Structure 1
Amino acid sequence: MKLLIHGRNLDVTPAIREYTEAKLTRAINHFEGMVKEADVHLSVARNPRVPQQTAEVTMYANGTVIRAQERSENLYASIDLVASKLSRQLHRFMDRQHDHHHSSGHRASTTPGTEEIVGELSVDHSLTEGREPELPAPAVRRKYFAMPPMKLDDALHQLELIDHDFYVFRDADDGQIQVVYRRNHGGFGVIQPRDA
């Protein structure tokens, strides 16, 4: 497994690196063939009066993004908590994969590899010729990602795996972009577009 460890407001010492590697390796040892890459961000709050140390991990397992984040007063405790959370999420992911593969009439779709996608998107010309460098508008961060059509229950499953409050997806039935989110008092909600 390829493991990238980054630190924000802290130096990633060899001890922290070894501890993180050991905890994550132990958390995914049953799933190691499935997890190809993990991106770890360790951070310490800038304000010394706020003892908050965060461990955030994003894993790529068979084309699925699994993300977890934990905060505590101790970086090692945050790493322990995030490793446990990832292990639970991977178990849920495997159980769901197992259930889907054994249900009648269902065939899993294959996720194309990076080589296939990059091959389809080859560029013949210069992307920078005739252009001036410019900075994006302040406080705007853009993210781009593929949105294969999926059913609502698949979107809910993805919401659990990425550990966010919402998940944007393209509905398999009508092709519309929708947002599924966690409600404050429990349960989920869906935001759907409507013609004006």
Structure 2
Amino acid sequence: MIEYQIRGENMSTTDAINNYIKLRLEKLNNYIDQKNNPIAHINVRKYNEKTFKIEVTIPLPYLTLRAEETQSDFYNAVDLVSAKLLRQIRKFKTRVNRKSRERGFKGIDFNEAIDPVPSDTNEDKKIDVIRRKNLSLKPMDIEEAVLQMEMLDHDFFLFLNSDTNQLDIVYKRDDGKYGLIETENVESSK
């Protein structure tokens, strides 16, 4: 079973709210392998305009599922987030596993279940990469990476972290602060 960590901002989450969220996200249990003890981080935010924003993040070993929705009706927002997550699972289950098998990898370990999500014709379209860039990465610390990002006037910057010798990403958040995504190598099983 997925463990739920529900947090409210500008509101308290009642048992009814928690139960509704768990009920709508319960379908995900059919698709996510439970041996990894998945945890769903759920943030429920209420704004002054009487709108609700639901954010759900579920980190998995090879994939992070994330969806958010802002609606005037709390229950509608939860329903839409649930539908987005199910579409993401279906998309990754088919595309990534197909590509992984072609390359000899095991693929993402989703449970095999009958798929109640209707097929979306847009999901079968080819992804067109319209631009490529080559980077020469020099080792730098986080502070230098943020300065480089600001000089380039980008929202994110990929760099080789001189402290960890790993590829990391710094990014500018909507609140004007900065975030860091740290990477780690994952062994692939053939």
TM class by smaller structure: 0.5 to 0.7
Aligned to 1:12: 13
Whole-angstrom CA distance in 2 between matches of 1:10 and 1:96: 39
Does 2:65 match 1:29? no
Q: CA deviation at 1:60?
A: 1.0
Residues 35, 62 of structure 1: 8 Å contact kept: no
Aligned partner (choices 95, 105, 108) of residue 107 of structure 1: 105
**In the alignment, structure 1 residue 41 sits paired with structure 2 residue 43:** yes
Q: Deviations over 1:125-181 (max 9, x none)?
A: xxxxxxxxxxxxxx65332222469xxxxxxxxxxxxxxxxxxxxxxxxxxxxxxxx
Tell me the number of residue pairs that the alignment of Structure 1 and Structure 2 aligns. 118
Percent identical pairs in the alignment equals 23
Which residue of the partner structure matches residue 126 of structure 1? none
Output the amino acid matched with 1:107. F
Q: Secondary structure at the match of 1:7?
A: strand
CA distance in 2, matches of 1:107, 1:27: 24
Amino acid at match of 1:44: K
State the Cα RMSD in Å: 2.7
Matches within 5 A, 1:26-175: 26-33=27-34, 36-45=38-47, 47=48, 50-103=49-102, 105-107=103-105, 141-147=177-183
Q: Give the residue type in structure 1 aligned to 2:15.
A: P
Residues 14-55 of structure 1 show CA distances to partners (whole Å, capped at 9, x for unaligned) of 01011111111124422243671110001111x2xx231111
**Per-residue CA distance 1:40-87 (angstroms, 9 max, x = gap):** 001111x2xx23111110111223212100111111111111011001
Work out whether residues 44 and 54 of structure 1, in 8 Å CA contact, stay in contact via their aligned partners in 2. yes
Which residue identity lines up with residue 5 of structure 1 in the other structure? Answer: I
Report the Cα distance in structure 1 between the residues aligned to 2:71 and 2:176, rounded to whole angstroms: 28
Q: 1:96 to 1:35 in 2, by over 3 A?
A: farther
Contact 2:100 2:106 in 1 (8 A): yes
The gaps in structure 1 that reach 5 residues or longer are: 111-120, 122-138, 150-196
SS of 2:180's equivalent?
A: coil
